């Protein structure tokens, strides 16, 4: 089973986000970049499939030099090969442009039975990239997978829907996007980390894929501005220890007259 895992390089969720000077990007100074958490589930599942039998796992990431650390993290966790498509600075937030680049890389590399990705990127993809890659590669697609079983040239995928679980059967090759709960991602081992530092990462440009990055950046979605959420005001404490009934009446009054929620 040959698997390809698409890895997005995103700010650590513990990072303090600040706006850049242009107002339509974040200030990247001091940001720690990591594998998008949902992509970790995808990578872990691909590695488990490989470990259960014969197989090969390739991780692919599109972006500037910082994605090499993400790819090496993928290698340290069990991937066999890593590919960087350089660029990405002008296509920030443009899910269709990103999907076109990744789909072209998948077609160029070829031979995959499975393409894995996270159900969404912790950033700006709006849960679109995985489905768009499937469409561009003309492959069946199942999103939000919580369980996957393989055999007879097909996958039986389980995903959660309102009120229950949906079971979908699809032929291979196909694209699956991983949901939280699919597995418990492993930490990189020391041996894996040391080996990943020496591993070669294949690089290719967008032009090598027959695409024009400038043209891709001009189509689809462009981010015009970003804004931080408004600062929260101070709270109010009602002391109900001495007279709980009075505190309850005051709370009801505030909710009715100030908050206007009742």
CB 92 within 8 Å of CB 116: no
Per DSSP, the three-state class of 162 is coil
Size (the chain), residues = 262
Rounded to whole angstroms, how far apart are CA atoms 184 and 85?
28
CA angle 38, 40, 132 (to 5 degrees): 50
Residue 27 scores a pLDDT above 90? no
Residue 168 CA neighbour count, 13 Å, CB half: 19
* pLDDT given at position 163: 84
E strand map for the chain: 2-6, 9-11, 33-35, 56-62, 81-86, 114-118, 141-151, 154-161, 164-171, 174-178, 202-205
* pLDDT given at position 141: 96
Rounded to whole angstroms, how far apart are CA atoms 171 and 153?
6
Q: What is the DSSP letter of 161?
A: E
Rounded to whole angstroms, how far apart are CA atoms 262 and 250?
13
- Six-digit token pair at 251? 């709370």
Q: Given 3.40.50.720, 3.40.50.620, 3.40.50.300, 3.30.930.10, which CATH number is that of 2-217?
A: 3.40.50.620
Rounded to whole angstroms, how far apart are CA atoms 234 and 237?
10
Residue range 126-132: mean pLDDT, rounded? 91
Exposed, middle or buried: residue 34 (CB in 10 Å: 0-12, 13-18, 19+)?
buried
Exposed, middle or buried: residue 9 (CB in 10 Å: 0-12, 13-18, 19+)?
buried
- Using one digit for the tens of pLDDT, what is the confidence trace for 33-82? 999 999 999 999 999 999 998 899 999 999 999 999 999 999 999 999 99
Please report, for the chain, the start and end positions of each structural domain, with discontinuous segments joined by +: 2-217, 234-262
* pLDDT given at position 124: 74
- Using one digit for the tens of pLDDT, what is the confidence trace for 138-190? 999 999 999 999 999 999 999 998 889 999 999 999 999 999 999 999 999 99
Per DSSP, the three-state class of 257 is helix
- Six-digit token pair at 198? 């020496």
CA distances, 235 to each of 133, 232, 238 (Å): 46, 9, 10
Residue 241 scores a pLDDT above 90? no
| Residues forming a β-bridge with 155 | 150, 170
Question: 94: closest CA among 220, 2, 1?
Answer: 220
| Residues forming a β-bridge with 4 | 58, 115
CA torsion sign for 188, 191, 197, 198 is negative
pLDDT class of 220 with cuts at 50, 70, 90: confident
pLDDT, greater one: 17 or 64: 64
């Amino acid at each position: 089973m040959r698997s390809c895992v698409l890895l997005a390089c995103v700010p650590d969720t513990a990072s303090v986000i600040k706006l850049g000077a242009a107002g339509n990007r974040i200030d990247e100074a001091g940001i720690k970049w990591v594998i998008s958490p949902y992509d970790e589930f995808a990578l872990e599942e691909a590695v488990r499939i490989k470990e259960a039998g014969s197989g090969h796992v390739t991780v692919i990431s599109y972006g500037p030099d910082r994605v090499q650390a993400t790819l090496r993290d993928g290698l340290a966790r069990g991937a066999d090969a890593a590919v960087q498509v350089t660029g990405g600075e002008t296509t920030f937030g443009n899910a269709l442009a990103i999907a076109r680049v990744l789909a072209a890389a998948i077609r160029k590399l070829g031979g995959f039975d499975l393409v894995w990705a996270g159900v969404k990127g912790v950033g700006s993809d709006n849960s679109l990239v995985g489905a768009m890659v499937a469409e561009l590669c003309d492959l069946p697609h199942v999103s939000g997978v919580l369980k996957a079983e393989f055999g007879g040239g097909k996958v039986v995928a389980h995903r959660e829907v309102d009120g229950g679980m949906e079971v979908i059967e699809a032929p291979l090759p196909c694209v699956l996007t991983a949901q939280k709960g699919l597995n418990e991602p492993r930490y990189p081992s020391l041996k894996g980390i040391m080996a990943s530092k020496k591993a070669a990462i294949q690089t290719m440009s967008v032009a090598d894929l027959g695409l024009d990055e400038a043209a891709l950046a001009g189509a689809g979605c462009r981010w015009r501005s970003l804004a931080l959420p408004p600062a929260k005001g101070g709270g109010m404490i009602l002391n109900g220890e001495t007279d709980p009934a009075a505190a309850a009446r005051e709370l009801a009054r505030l909710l009715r007259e100030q908050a206007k929620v009742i």
